[in-house]
Each structure stands twice: as structure tokens, then as C-alpha cells.
Amino acid sequence: MQSFIKKYSIFLMLYIVFQPVLDAVTGLMTQAHMNVSFGVLIRMAVMAVTVFYLLLFLVLNRDNRHGFMVMGYFVVLGLVSAISMIINYKTKTLFVTSLEISTLAKSLYYPIMLLAYFYAFEELAEDRIINRFFPKVIFIAINIISVIMIIAHFTNTSFSSYSYYKLGESGWFFAANELSAIVSITFPIMIWYALKKINIWQRLYYWISIILAVYSALLIGTKGSLLALLFSLCMGILASVIQFFKNRSGRKYFAGVIALLVITLGGIIAAYPAMAVSRTAELHTEMIQDKKQKAKTKKGITKDQEKYVKTNKTVSYLFSGRTVYFENAAHNFKKATLPQKVFGMGYATSFKKVRDAKLVEMDYVDIFFQFGFIGTIIFLAPLAYCLIYLIGAFLRKFKDMWSIKWAMLVASVILGFGMALMTGHVIEAPSVSIYFVSILAYALFNARIFLRMNEDPYTIDVER
């Protein structure tokens, strides 16, 4: 059984590399109007095996008290989910079983995989196997995404990110927002890995992967990916400047790193006018004006379109209509029964037709409406614990947190939590959450060792 734990821990590392393949196949199947989602089936099967892995790990490797607490949490989470499902089955005007169950399964993916990756890191760190897999697997996975994006672009087979604008490309990946979140959250890890590898300047070719990742992110045309690139590079520059002054023997290296990061940042800024994201800002203004004109005609516009037009232009652009969906969901929640407010309204609150079912696409908000007051506290408890612990570690070891490794880990975690609010499709989307929770678990594992040993665990780093 211990052998299974070791092998499955390694599988969890390698599993990250296969994510782009799953997403590309799923995207092509969706584009071909095939009902079966290949990616969802594989991910749900892996999640089921992972539950067994967690139980086995807790039984063989943990004290009874800790194991009881972890299993107790999942029992409570399961009970809350079941209660919510029963309440909504009896209360909602239209209860679509397939939608409710699939949405719940996607929601449960994050806490299961977060804990699994933390234990996998704990298992693999003993033999330093972790160095050969993480963050290397993240680096490889994003390179695969970049290659697919570029092939799709030059073969003119790419899907459109914004069908109504006919702007932006998502390669062979169906969901542009999810793709944008993946590239954004992982970009700091890409920078960390590449900079570690080019400690010898003959390895400068590693930076080609960064340029390809930047190019792919800009092809998508979303605001989130652009902001993530800028934020990541600025964090890298800040950390490199600090290291330049702290590390006298390495000043030549860090001067080169600063120059490399500044040139890359300058290139993005210079390319902005030609990017799809710059055009979407202009088209957004044109769309608002067009709807205002239509509102004056006999045909008019829908209630949702009217709300969208009346929303502050900057807010409506940043959140892309999510404020309207929030208003509608909040209105439904206000009319909900007391049990629904406590345990949630399930998928997309209430709706009379499936086509009218709309998520807010802001993860924390969707989680609140889905699980209610009690359910939200329980569901977000692991994320809250990780965030509080990491903030505490950052403040306690503030002077040591400005290495390239920690700066990029911090940037990645910030982007994960931030994009879950701004663009959604992070916590609630398994295709994205796998990257976020693995990075979060890695940061948490490093922070725990750092605080316990009072020394930065350099043995858990990029393998040179």
C-alpha cells in the first residue's frame, strides 16, 4: 500500500502535464457538438481514485487525531452538499439533475485535489523526488498550451475567444476564460523555472518558452491574462532588484535577469496597441453606444441589456456583464426559502428554462449562492486556512520572501485568489483549479517547512 502511495504521488505530478491534452481534446469534441466531455470524465475518475489515495494516506501516514479531523471535514462537506441537493430538489422550479450533480462534482474537485497535492509533496519530499517534477511539470504543461495555441493560430483553426467581437483566440481550447486563468496563474512559475535554469547564460534558450507563453497569452485577448503578465514581470523585477543589492557575489547575474525582465515587459507594453485586448476596450464602448441607440427604438433592448448599459462603463468592462448576473442571482437569493439561504440554491440559483441559467462567473459569489451561508464557510475553509497561513508566513519571514522562488510563488497565489474573484473559472473549474491547488499546496508545504525549521527549504526547488 505504501508503494501505491508513492506511485500515485508521482502520478499526480505527471497528471498536470496531461491537462492541456485533456482540454484540447475536450475543446475539439465540444466544437464538433459531441455531448460526451472527455476531459470531465477523466478528471472525475481521477478524483474518485484520489479519494481512495487520501484515505489510504491518512490511515498509513498520519496520527489518528489529524486523520479524524481531515475525514471529519469531508464528512461534513458531504453532508452539507447532500442537504443542499435535497432542499433544491424539493424547492427549485426546475431541477436539472445532471447539471446539479456535475456542478457539485466540479466544486468538490478543489478541496480533494488541494489536500492530495499537499500529501503528495510531503511523500515525495522525503526522497527529493519532488525536485524532478514540480514546478517542471507546470513548465512543460504551459509549453504544450503555447505550442497548441501557435499551431492553431498559424493553421487558422483557432476558436474565437469573443464570438460577438470576433476577436482573440483560444487555440483548440473551448473556454477562453479558463485558458486565460491557467496561463495567468502559472506564468510566475514559468518565470521562476526559466530564471533558475538560465543561471548559466548558455541556457538562455529557456527564455524562448517565456516569450511563447507571453505570445499565447496575448493571443487570447482577455484583460486578465494581460494584467497577469504585467504583474508577474513587475514582481520578478522587484525581487531581482532586491537580490541585486542583497547578493554582492551574484550582482552580474541579477543585473542580467533585470534586463531580461525589463525588455520582456517593454515588449508587451510596445505591442499593446496591436493586441486583441486593446481592441475589445474600444468595441465595448461601441457596443454600449449601440445598445443605447436601440433602447430608443420600438424594438428596444432586454432588461439585462438595460442593466448592463446603466452600469458604470469601467465596471462593466472589467467584469464583462458579471454585475448584471450578480444582480439577478442576488434577487433570486433574496426570494429563496430559509433552508436555501442556509445551504444554498445549487446551480445558477433558480431558473425556469435551462437557457436562462446563468452563473455570475465570480467564484466566491457563485460558491455563496450555490452553498449558502453555512455551506460557503465549510467549502471555503481550506482556502481560507491556506491564505491565512501563507500571509502569516510571509509577514514572519518578510525579509526572506524576496527570492525569485518566493516572489513568484506569492505572485501565483495572489493571481489565483484574485482571478477567482475578477474572472471566475478558477476554483469552480477543474481544468484550472488543478494548477491553482497544486501551486497553493506547494507554497503551503514550503512555508510550513520554513517556519518549522526556521530555514528556507532550498532542497525543495527547481532542479538545476
Q: Are 76 and 14 in contact (CB under 8 A)?
A: no
- Rounded to the nearest 5 degrees, what angle is found at the Cα of 171, between the Cα atoms of 169 and 172? 135
328 lies in some domain: no
pLDDT of residue 275: 80
State residue 165's pLDDT score. 58
Average pLDDT over residues 97-114: 93
Residue 177 in domain:
yes
- How many structural domains are present in the chain? 1
Instruction: Please indicate, yes or no, if residue 418 is contained in any of the structural domains.
Output: yes
* Domain ranges, residue 178: 2-277+374-453
Please report whether residue 117 resides in a domain: yes
Distance of alpha carbon 146 from alpha carbon 210, whole angstroms: 10
For residue 367, tell me if it sits in a domain: no
Comparing 331 with 166, the larger pLDDT belongs to 331
Assigned domain for 355 exists = no
pLDDT in tens, 162-206: 665 567 788 888 888 899 999 999 999 999 999 999 877 778 889
Lowest mean pLDDT, pick from 153-157, 171-175, 277-281, 396-400: 277-281
- Cβ contact 423:177 at 8 Å: yes
- Residue 283: pLDDT over 70: no
Model confidence at 329, pLDDT cuts 50, 70, 90, reads confident
Alpha-carbon span 177 to 331, nearest angstrom: 26
pLDDT at residue number 288: 56
Task: Tell me the three cell numbers of residue 448.
Answer: 510550513
For the chain, how long is the longest CA-to-CA vector? 74
SS3 261: helix
pLDDT range class, residue 326, cuts 50, 70, 90: confident
**Residue 438: inside a domain:** yes
46 located within any domain: yes
